[in-house]
Amino acid sequence: MRAAVFTSLLLSLGTALTAPTARWSTDVPSGFVTTNGTSFQLDGQPFAFVGTNSFWLPLLSNDDDVHATFETIAAAGIKVVRTWGFNAINETELPYAESINLTYYQVWNSSGWTLNEGSQGLQRLDYVLYAAAIHDIRLIITFTNNWVGYGGADLYVNWLAGAGATHDVFYTDPTIIASYQQYVQTIVNRYKDSPTVFAWELMNEARCASDLLTASAACHPGSGTLGLWYQQQSDFVRSIDPYHMITTGGEGQFYWAQPDTYWYNNTLVTDFNFDGAAGEDFEWDLGLPNIDFGVYHMYVQTWYPELDYPGSNFSIEDWGLDWIEAHALTAQMVGKPIVIEEFGLTGLDNKTAIYPTWVQRTLDSNHAGVMFWQWGQLNLTEDGGNHPFKYTDAIVNGASPNDGNTVYTNQTTVMDIFTQAAAVQAQRSA
């Protein structure tokens, strides 16, 4: 479909990549998912899956609601759920958090962060792992966020580097790295014997800039800032946990010598997802020895609102198909599994129209995992079915948070697409 892809892949792969080693895959404990070439493997059998995202599961304070959610997810054939392993607040937010039973694991002040292992602290995450295991579901657990949401990297930057620091010092400042690693070690040590952990994830959607802070000139296409951080942190996690898989959590942007271009308003534009502008270099990052599989995200509507303009030469659907194939091809060449870890469209009609084609293409291109953003649970009972979390996230009339991408179980035209894909993946897992 796109000859240019292959050429630039070969150029950028160069000699930087060595064949991935399987040094630990033969001795992982039983029940742990591992990799074997471009497939996942569980107890000697291939393991392919449909998964979903639910950042809010640890925010629930009602155990029955956690169970009901996993029960419904399992009934849809879904095997893997991704959730946040971070929930950090400022000390000034404590009164609010306590007034609504908001889950938080880290409280920041100028002395650094304090861990919350209480009943609205890490015990909520403990319970999520416990309930997932009962329903034979495994979790991808993410250590921090590029974005402000639920206390990401910018809290480390604010409190440890101070006013005026740019977002990208998160990746380079030794004090910040030590603080991040201390938190990572806390989480990894807590669950490192659990087969319910599918994989550890270094950061959600790492970029040079965030929604709050800008990037410095040091973080630029080709600087390798994110790649070196991925290398350092994946090596660190492997040093404390030899068995669980590790991935980046990135959006999967490429850094190509000849990035893709497209027409917008009759002008030729360089595609920011292919020119390294955001900070990632998907091929280099996936080649790292302790990055076990590739992940990428896909939000075509929000990334390219201009595709709806006259004078654009391709559609949301086609751009998505191209993005799916580019990642499948890279993973094939590197020899590791590929997972579309988040994707979403707003509007039920948009989902119904486009998801079948996208999901089919992920299956046709041998994706080991297909995970939509995000799971929508109905009939939650906590606080009578109405409970605010943070920002605009809330349980409303028993329905889990709705960001427009949410797929609720009553939206059967969409849910059926995933249930059918789950059946295909289950066949491939035999």
Which strand ranges, in their side-by-side order, compose the sheet holding 88-90? 88-90, 106-109, 112-115
Closest CA to 227 of 166, 173, 291: 291
The 121-160 contact track toward ligand NAG, x by CB under 6 A, reads: ---------------------------x---------x--
Q: Which C-beta is closer to ligand NAG: that of 234 or that of 301?
A: 301
Report H helices in 23-110: 63-75, 94-99
Which one of 317, 341, 342, 382 is the catalytic residue? 342
Q: What angle do CA 192, 158, 275 make, to 5 degrees?
A: 75
Q: Does 262 bind ligand NAG (CB under 6 A)?
A: yes
Q: How far is the CB of 387 from ligand NAG (least distance, A)?
A: 7
Count CB atoms within 10 A of the CB of residue 138: 25
Stretch that binds ligand NAG, among 52-60, 228-236, 328-336, 405-413 (CB under 6 A): 405-413
> Of 350, 381, 419, 429, which one interacts with ligand NAG (CB under 6 A)?
350
Q: Which residue matches tokens 């579901």? A: 137
Q: Does 381 bind ligand NAG (CB under 6 A)?
A: no
Active site residue 342: yes
Helices (H) and strands (E) in the chain, counts: 12, 20
Stretch that binds ligand NAG, among 76-84, 183-191, 342-350, 358-366 (CB under 6 A): 342-350
Stretch 161-200 residues interacting with ligand NAG (CB under 6 A): none
> Of 6, 96, 314, 391, which one interacts with ligand NAG (CB under 6 A)?
314
Bridge partners (DSSP) listed for residue 296: 340
Which one of 201, 205, 341, 382 is the catalytic residue? 205
CB 276 within 8 A of CB 282: no
Q: What is the 3-state secondary structure (H, E, C) of 182-227?
A: HHHHHHHHHHCCCCCEEEEECCECCCCCCCCCCCCCCCCCCCCHHH
Long-range Cβ pairs for the range 312-319 (8 Å, 24+):
312/262, 312/263, 312/264, 312/265, 313/262, 313/263, 314/262, 316/345, 316/354, 317/353, 317/354, 317/357, 317/358, 319/262
DSSP character at residue 148: S
> Of 7, 45, 109, 258, which one interacts with ligand NAG (CB under 6 A)?
109
Stretch that binds ligand NAG, among 51-59, 63-71, 216-224, 377-385 (CB under 6 A): 377-385
Q: Does 18 bind ligand NAG (CB under 6 A)?
A: no
Bridge partners (DSSP) listed for residue 199: 140, 245
Q: How far is the CB of 402 from ligand NAG (least distance, A)?
A: 7
Active site residue 251: no
The 279-308 contact track toward ligand NAG, x by CB under 6 A, reads: ----------------------x------x
**What residue ranges bind ligand NAG (CB under 6 A)?**
25-26, 36, 41, 44, 61, 90, 93, 99-101, 109-111, 114, 148, 158, 261-263, 265, 268, 301, 308, 313-314, 316, 318, 346-347, 350, 378-379, 383, 398-399, 408, 410-411
Query: Could you list the active site residues?
Result: 205, 342
